[in-house]
Chains A and B, each alone.
Chain A
Amino acid sequence: MAEVHVIGQIIGASGFSESSLFCKWGIHTGAAWKLLSGVREGQTQVDTPQIGDMAYWSHPIDLHFATKGLQGWPRLHFQVWSQDSFGRCQLAGYGFCHVPSSPGTHQLACPTWRPLGSWREQLARAFVGGGPQLLHGDTIYSGADRYRLHTAAGGTVHLEIGLLLRNFDRYGVEC
């Protein structure tokens, strides 16, 4: 079986209008993939930038997959939330990016978006907070049914991911 190591960190996020951000992340793979070690999802701490506007999480990611096929190459997906001084959480953006397929270290910048509601919901969000959220998390990384959504841009999630591949040449895959 071919093996893939995804080792790196979610560095942080920039470009969001809210400060005090945290991120819930997960990794989605196809049916041929099996997670041998590591946790498939997690949540970072809340970070409030004191200098500049980039929130830093430095959240480590260390995953070891075994796979029988290339279909369903891993995708990292993120939900960035902001927390206010009362402890309430508000969605700041959804985003996803594919894990790179060439070995080595990669700097990734993942753009995010958030669903807009009707003008009433947008007004309420400006004053009271809250706002629409996705019911099913898989819309974040899949293209089906996206046409129903009207969204606005959020900020960018920055990652540094290192990739180690093993035994791919045995199966005739060049990388």
Chain B
Amino acid sequence: MDVVQLQSRLSEYLKSLFNDGTLDGQFLQLQQLQDESNPDFVVEVVTLFFSDSEKLLDDLSSSLEQPNVDFRKVDAYVHQLKGSSSSIGAQRVKNACIAFRGLCEEQSIPACLRCLQLVKQEYLYAKNKLETLFKLEKQVVAAGGSIPSLDAGS
């Protein structure tokens, strides 16, 4: 594939992530912060999101396994995950966290455990998609091209 084809494949892939709700406009904000003086910004922030999220998901699992579940703690973890997913534009993860917080108020462990599974699924889906996106970007750069930017309004 030549550079133009690679760039086109990248653009289409990114568009698909907006179309299925994986990403929202906040992701474009991050892309706009990336420039020659900060060329790896998006990958760095998203990588940070991955490691923070995985720790939070582990913490959530263990806190829901305690003999006396502290729902304030559970809610605090979900709040963190909701915040960082919102900040990078991981819309579906954010929405799953919003639903989870609603369940924390009801203090039902089975419901929370089910919701945690949903959050995990959305997280893994988003992670997979973003890793693929970054791989496609690398291919464009390796072929000598630059990463095309999507208009924030589109």
A, B bound = no
Q: Which residues of chain B have a CB within 8 Å of any CB of chain A? A: none
